[in-house]
Structure formats: structure tokens, C-alpha cells
Amino acid sequence: MIYEDLSISELAKLISPSSEAFLELKRRGVLRTKNIVGELGEYYAIEHYTKNSKLPSLSIAPVTVKNIDALSRNGEIYSIKTVSSRNGTTGSFWDPESIEKNEKKFDYLLIVIIDQSYALDMILELSWEDFFKYKRFNKRMNNYNISLTNTLINEVNVVYERR
């Protein structure tokens, strides 16, 4: 099998620790760390936005930039969270004190939903106002996250849905 001929989705299905597929995804710049789910989500979101002329073209932010995953050419800041089911919960949003003060951390939150095979299922786009409306506080962790619900999916911008 020649991995260079496979699409990103085809490679993602073959991932296992230290596999040739994992190494090929690293070589292509899709994976930069061992956070396979998060980095595939970032890749899918940026690829979808860049290939769709109705959406702003995005570029990945450097790993060293805290809480920012992508930037548009117009300077808009994107946070990208990836979940593995339509009824999942996003990863954490830290610094609850500034969030409670409504200190804007990003312009848009993209929630990327992938399936069991790491293939893209859906991309949701939330404005800062949407994030602020749907955020939930986790007392134990002292942070915020977003729970995916049918209400949220029906009320925010669905920029991609696999049919």
C-alpha cells in the first residue's frame, strides 16, 4: 500500500501508535503532536474553510500561541475543538475569570465532529456570543466547555454536515 496516494481520511482510518500512517500524517504536517483527534479536527476545519469560497480562508496558528488554533486572512481568531460524537462535550476553555467578564478570547469557535473512523462528520461555527450562551461551567475542573445538544446544533451555523 502506498500511503502517499491515500487521502487524509483514508490515512486517518489506519492510525495506530507509531504506525506508518501516523508518520505519514506527521510528514504531511497534519499531525504536529500526539493529539490525533484534536489535530485532525483542526486540519478538517482549516481545509474545509480554505476550499470553500464562501468561507474565509484559514491558516493554522503556531503551536506556541495559547487558545488560538487558526486565523483568517482578515485577522479573525478561531478556536477549534474536536469531539468524537454528536452528543459529546468539547475540551476545556480555561481562564474562567476572564470568560465570566465576557473578555473575548476568539471571534469564532469551530466544533468539529468526527466519527469512529476519524472521518469528518460535521463542523459547527459559533460566534463569541453563541459560545457565551452555550458555555457550561465545570466546577471540578474550574473551566468551561460546550455540550453538544440538538438545540445547539439547530441554533448555530452548521458549515459542514456529511450526508
Per-residue pLDDT reduced to its tens digit, 27-36: 999 988 878 8
- For residue 3, the model assigns a pLDDT of 86
User: Quick one: pLDDT band at residue 16, thresholds 50, 70, 90?
Assistant: low
Whose CA is closest to 69, among 17, 22, 21, 105?
105
- Cell numbers found for residue 71: 486565523
Residue 15: inside a domain: no
For the chain, what is the domain count?
1
- Please state, in angstroms and as integers, the Cα–Cα distance from residue 27 to each residue in 8, 18, 31, 137, 138, following that order: 12, 13, 8, 38, 37
Give the closest residue to 136 by CA, choosing from 82, 77, 88, 70.
88
- 12 is a domain residue: no
> Do the domain assignments include residue 20?
no
Look up the pTM and report it: 0.87
Whole-number percent of the chain with pLDDT over 90: 64
Query: In whole angstroms, what is the distance from residue 74 CA to residue 5 CA?
Result: 34
Mean residue pLDDT of the chain comes to 91
Number of H helices, E strands in the chain: 6, 8
The x, y and z cell numbers of residue 148, run together, are 453538544
- pLDDT of 19 strictly over 90: no
pLDDT score at 5: 92
Decide if 18 is inside a domain: no
Whether residue 91 lies inside any domain: the answer is: yes
The CA distance from 48 to 9, in Å, is: 13
Reported as a pLDDT band with limits 50, 70 and 90, residue 38 is: very high
Residue 154 belongs to domain with CATH number: 3.40.210.30
pLDDT at 17: 58
pLDDT at 22 over 80: yes
> Does residue 26 fall inside a structural domain?
no
What's the N-to-C CA distance of the chain in angstroms? 29
Residue 91 and residue 151: Cα distance in Å, rounded?
19
Structural domain of 104: 32-161
Segment of 7-11, 52-56, 67-71 carrying the highest mean pLDDT: 52-56
Q: How far apart are CA 27 and CA 20, in angstroms?
A: 10
Residue 89 lies in a domain: yes
Q: What band does 99 get if pLDDT is binned at 50, 70 and 90?
A: confident
Q: Would you say residue 84 lies in a domain?
A: yes
Each residue of 103-157: pLDDT tens digit? 899 999 999 999 998 999 999 999 999 999 999 999 999 999 999 999 999 999 9
Q: How many CB atoms lie under 10 A from the CB of residue 112?
A: 26
Residue 161 pLDDT greater than 70, yes or no:
yes
Alpha-carbon distances, residue 146 vs 4, 13, 59, 87, 143 (angstroms): 36, 27, 24, 10, 11
